[in-house]
Structure 1
Amino acid sequence: MWEGIETGINYIVDMGASVMLPIVIAILSVLIGVKVGKAIRAGLMIGVGFVGLGLIVDLMNSQLGPAAAAMSERFGLSLSVIDIGWPGASPMTWASEIATIAIPLAIVVNIVMLTFKLTKTVNIDIWNIWHMTFTGAIAYVVTGNFWIGILGVIVHAAIAYKLGDLWAPMMVDYFELDGITVPHGTSAYMAPIACVVDEIIERIPGLNKIDITADILQEKVGILGEPITIGAILGTGVGFLAGYSAQEALPLGVQMSAVMVLMPKVVKCIMEGLLPISDRAKEIMTKKFGNSEFYIGLDPAILLGDPQVITAGLIFMPLTLLIAVLVPGNRVMPFGDLATIGFFIAIAVAVHKGNIFRTLFSGSLIMYMTIWIANQTIPWMTALATSTGSTDGTHMIAALDQGGSPITYIFTQLFTFENIIGMIVIAVIYIGSCYVAIKCSKKRMAAVNEQEE
């Protein structure tokens, strides 16, 4: 019986997020009382959104990817290990031996934490359980101990749901997403760094007065500050830095303009599809637990429609390549995740209330730490890829998304001690940042409550 369930889960997972999520959302919607027609429409709308998102990401990969590679070659960057990104890391994670049990396990952890009031986050984003699965898969392939892998899934899941609670005030205060949170992915686990940066800048006279947002730019410089124009300028700029002629650079600028305009529209499709199940889930939780507050955990893609997030994401594409050069001993060439850098800094933008100036500082630290950790996990990533048949092991691989996760890195190092000093440094920085983030979250929640009164 279990083999049949395993085969069914793998069959659905292998179809990718654009098919898996609509199926899961439609089924869950019907199970919790949403009308069948409405549930099917909601599922399809989410599928449409993810197809659109995939097309935009593919456009960025196919056009910005070669430009980034050309820029790297032009400036003589000797980075030998390619970042395969989440599009490469997620399939090999789902192909691991841990994957089949990870989905029900992560759901059970969520239910247990909700029951004992250890979290307010109700995660309905099944696809992104791959992040939790990744920690388990890496721990298992590195240690050879299946139960350590299972523990990795549990630990990452528990941390993710607490991160969902942590970022909920930012969701309503900045993104105006009431009752919704983003508990997983690079957005959630790297944002504590932004809280530290924000606290530091607040204490520096002069710097604490600088506030640059896409809206302010638009007011000051008119059309030059509009997202469509910013996309054109940044895209063309990357083209020229790559050594392109005007005939090649200008089309890249227009394509990035398209990204700036189309991304928010695509995200609206995902949000529209998620509303029925979100509203119904809140109804059920309210009836069952009274006036207790709950947050519906969704994919960080819902944050990419914000102009500040898109603008910062485009800025960080070339900037991440520069940061990669500055990381001592770095071998990782940012590539697969360059198109989705917005995921890394989305919540950081919310922490800074859309201030792109502050986001440049926090985003740089986030990418620096991510690249440093991704270097340490190169052998682990390669071992996972080899164990799942994704590579023959002759070429080393890396991934910024999840491969650069402090959660995965610290957890696995606890059982391997391959780099004790590195583990201690990252653990101290990360745990300290999380402590600051908790205080930051409480402040924002108090501000939200004050506004509602």
Structure 2
Amino acid sequence: MQTFKTIMDTFGPNIFVPVVIFIICLFMRINVKKAFNSAILAAVGLVGFSMITDYFTPVISPVVDKMLKIAHLNLPVLDIGWQATAVIAYSTHIGMIFIGILLVFQIFLFAVKWTNVFMPSDLWNNYSLILWGSELYLMTKNVWLASFLMLFGNLVCLLYSEMIATRWSTYYGYPQCTLTAPHQVCNVPIALILNYVLSKLGADKIQLNPKKIQEKLGFLGDPMIIGFIVGMLLGLIGNFTMLTSIKSWGQILTTAVTTAAVMTIFPKVGSIFAASFSSITSASQKSMKKGGREWYVAVNDALGYGETATLTTGILMIPFALILAFVLPGNLVVPVMCLTGFAYDSEINVALSNGNIFKALIMDIIIFTGQLYIGSYFAPMFTKIARETGVTMPKGSLMVIGFVAANILMGLITIGFLTKNPLIIGIIVLLYVVQFIYYKKNKQKVTDIIEKHSDYSDSLNKNLEVS
């Protein structure tokens, strides 16, 4: 297991994913030249995504730090981010065993057609499943129950990943791709309900998406200009107590220009990565015409990060997150490291709302509210694991949490498993089975409903035009 982990850490997703794509191409009888070209395009795209996010994060982090100081949040639990969370998950003794178990399990599920999502291509994000399993093991010392939780969580993730595959791949323009990161796709049932309710409440009448903004505001609606404005707004909020300082204005304008650059460059890198799937898509379509299956490759959430509506929603979420942490009664968590990563968490909400920033932001706010409480509940357990794996505790904090370990659905499932009550665990499993059977029997119907409500605003416009 240690050897496998070393290989995974050494090569990383920028190498691992292209290798998987190359193997898939050969398996689908695509010639070696096209298969190699697809793999290289994927590698170039992934490196491009990494370069953008790696450059952008250090630019906005100092601004976020200033916002935290302005907020004066004095709470006992500190958010240490997904990077530290991943290290913790992979450093536990039980986590080392779980790595191999999950890989075999995911390949098996795809091979027997339990799922149409090939999850091993995003193997890195298994760390959040491993973390939940490790937490349960720490609290119960029951390796079988912890293993069952982890595998059951994987089944839940695959169900929701497949459910939103068409919507996500359509909106972001990556054919045959979907998200499988558990800390994101487990938000799908909540996001679906919120999207439906908000549509019924008339949220679609406020069409705050890049296309509509550009139609109404002209050049001000260009993604580059939107990025500049949003970046400027973020910079101003972070520096509003120091607006007389030239240094502050340097940071404000740097944030604005960098955000504009990300929104301009990201789609170009995205088109390179999308091109890597052209051969697979073509072969898949031919296979489907002959009665073959439709399937999707799991990809990293970095692929949607810089899309205009997604990044805008993620940045706008930062001040709301700080306000929520300050005003919510019973919240113990100071959100820190998660603030720069909200664009990742916004992807599903943005895709389901078809780029409606207004709706996606409301959905983000509601989901994050629940995550603050889940994070507060699990902080003692997470802190215990962190200490056992040798993580240095941040100065001044009593406990720590990573928001990967604050997912609402996985948190509630874990709470159910912590009871060790067969009836409660049985009910949880039964709820999954019912959803799974219904989806498999009505897959196209479910997909059509999701597409209909994501496109609700366009339907609304057409109805208004007809009347």
By the TM > 0.5 criterion, same fold?
yes
Equivalences for residues 412-423 of structure 1 within 5 A: 412-417=414-419
Instruction: Provide the rounded CA distance (Å) in 1 between the counterparts of 2:68 and 2:26.
Output: 50
Q: 1:44 to 1:321 in 2, by over 3 A?
A: farther
Which residue of 1 is the match for residue 220 of structure 2? Answer: 224
Q: 1:390 to 1:32 in 2, by over 3 A?
A: farther
Instruction: Provide the rounded CA distance (Å) in 2 between the counterparts of 1:344 and 1:96.
Output: 26
SS of aligned partner of 1:82: strand
Equivalences for residues 135-146 of structure 1 within 5 A: 135-146=132-143
Asked if structure 1 preserves the Cα contact closer than 8 Å seen for 2:175 and 2:281, the reply is no
Structure 1 residue runs without a partner (length 5+): 1-5
**Partner AA of 1:410 in structure 2:** L
**Partner AA of 1:8 in structure 2:** T
Equivalences for residues 49-448 of structure 1 within 5 A: 49-114=45-110, 117-123=113-119, 124-171=121-168, 173-204=170-201, 207-243=203-239, 244=242, 245-274=248-277, 282=284, 290-391=291-392, 396-400=399-403, 402-417=404-419, 442-445=445-448
Asked if structure 2 preserves the Cα contact closer than 8 Å seen for 1:120 and 1:295, the reply is yes
Equivalences for residues 29-40 of structure 1 within 5 A: 39=35
Task: Calculate percent identity across the aligned residue pairs.
Answer: 25
Query: How far did 1:306 drift?
Result: 3.2
Q: 1:321 to 1:51 in 2, by over 3 A?
A: farther
Instruction: Provide the rounded CA distance (Å) in 2 between the counterparts of 1:330 and 1:148.
Output: 29
Instruction: Provide the rounded CA distance (Å) in 2 between the counterparts of 1:44 and 1:91.
Output: 28
Q: Deviations over 1:135-179 (max 9, x none)?
A: 222222332222223222211111111112211231355345443
Instruction: Provide the rounded CA distance (Å) in 2 between the counterparts of 1:25 and 1:8.
Output: 23
SS of aligned partner of 1:93: helix
SS of aligned partner of 1:151: helix
Query: How far did 1:369 drift?
Result: 1.4
**Partner AA of 2:193 in structure 1:** V
SS of aligned partner of 1:77: coil
Query: How far did 1:193 drift?
Result: 2.2
Instruction: Provide the rounded CA distance (Å) in 1 between the counterparts of 2:443 and 2:210.
Output: 24
**Partner AA of 1:13 in structure 2:** M
Query: How far did 1:7 drift?
Result: 3.4
Q: Deviations over 1:344-392 (max 9, x none)?
A: 1211112112211211211111111122212222122222222322336
SS of aligned partner of 1:330: coil
Query: How far did 1:238 drift?
Result: 1.8
SS of aligned partner of 1:357: helix
Tell me the number of residue pairs that the alignment of Structure 1 and Structure 2 aligns. Answer: 430
Asked if structure 1 preserves the Cα contact closer than 8 Å seen for 2:128 and 2:183, the reply is no
Asked if structure 1 preserves the Cα contact closer than 8 Å seen for 2:208 and 2:358, the reply is yes
**Partner AA of 1:166 in structure 2:** M
Which residue of 1 is the match for residue 461 of structure 2? Answer: none
Asked if structure 2 preserves the Cα contact closer than 8 Å seen for 1:268 and 1:305, the reply is no
**RMSD after superposition:** 3.6
SS of aligned partner of 1:296: strand
Instruction: Provide the rounded CA distance (Å) in 1 between the counterparts of 2:51 and 2:250.
Output: 24
Query: How far did 1:286 drift?
Result: 5.5
Q: 1:172 to 1:25 in 2, by over 3 A?
A: closer
Asked if structure 1 preserves the Cα contact closer than 8 Å seen for 2:187 and 2:409, the reply is no
Q: Deviations over 1:157-211 (max 9, x none)?
A: 111111122112313553454433223343322132222222223333x544222
Alignment of 1:7 with 2:8, yes or no, is no
Instruction: Provide the rounded CA distance (Å) in 2 between the counterparts of 1:275 and 1:45.
Output: 11
User: What is the TM-score when the length of structure 2 is the normalising length?
Assistant: 0.79
Query: How far did 1:117 drift?
Result: 4.5
Query: How far did 1:23 drift?
Result: 4.8
Asked if structure 2 preserves the Cα contact closer than 8 Å seen for 1:92 and 1:385, the reply is yes
Asked if structure 1 preserves the Cα contact closer than 8 Å seen for 2:122 and 2:180, the reply is no
Which residue of 1 is the match for residue 458 of structure 2? Answer: none
Question: Which stretch of structure 1 is more off in the superposition, 87-96 or 215-224?
Answer: 87-96
Instruction: Provide the rounded CA distance (Å) in 2 between the counterparts of 1:55 and 1:185.
Output: 24
Query: How far did 1:338 drift?
Result: 2.1
**Partner AA of 2:59 in structure 1:** Q
Query: How far did 1:81 drift?
Result: 3.2
Q: 1:277 to 1:7 in 2, by over 3 A?
A: farther
Question: Which stretch of structure 1 is more off in the superposition, 43-52 or 27-36?
Answer: 27-36
Query: How far did 1:37 drift?
Result: 5.6
Query: How far did 1:256 drift?
Result: 1.3
Instruction: Provide the rounded CA distance (Å) in 2 between the counterparts of 1:342 and 1:106.
Output: 27
SS of aligned partner of 1:212: coil
Question: Which stretch of structure 1 is more off in the superposition, 359-368 or 259-268?
Answer: 259-268
Instruction: Provide the rounded CA distance (Å) in 1 between the counterparts of 2:450 and 2:188.
Output: 19
Asked if structure 1 preserves the Cα contact closer than 8 Å seen for 2:22 and 2:36, the reply is yes
SS of aligned partner of 2:297: strand
Query: How far did 1:302 drift?
Result: 2.6
Instruction: Provide the rounded CA distance (Å) in 2 between the counterparts of 1:147 and 1:285.
Output: 40
Instruction: Provide the rounded CA distance (Å) in 1 between the counterparts of 2:170 and 2:17.
Output: 27
Q: 1:87 to 1:10 in 2, by over 3 A?
A: same
**Partner AA of 1:139 in structure 2:** L
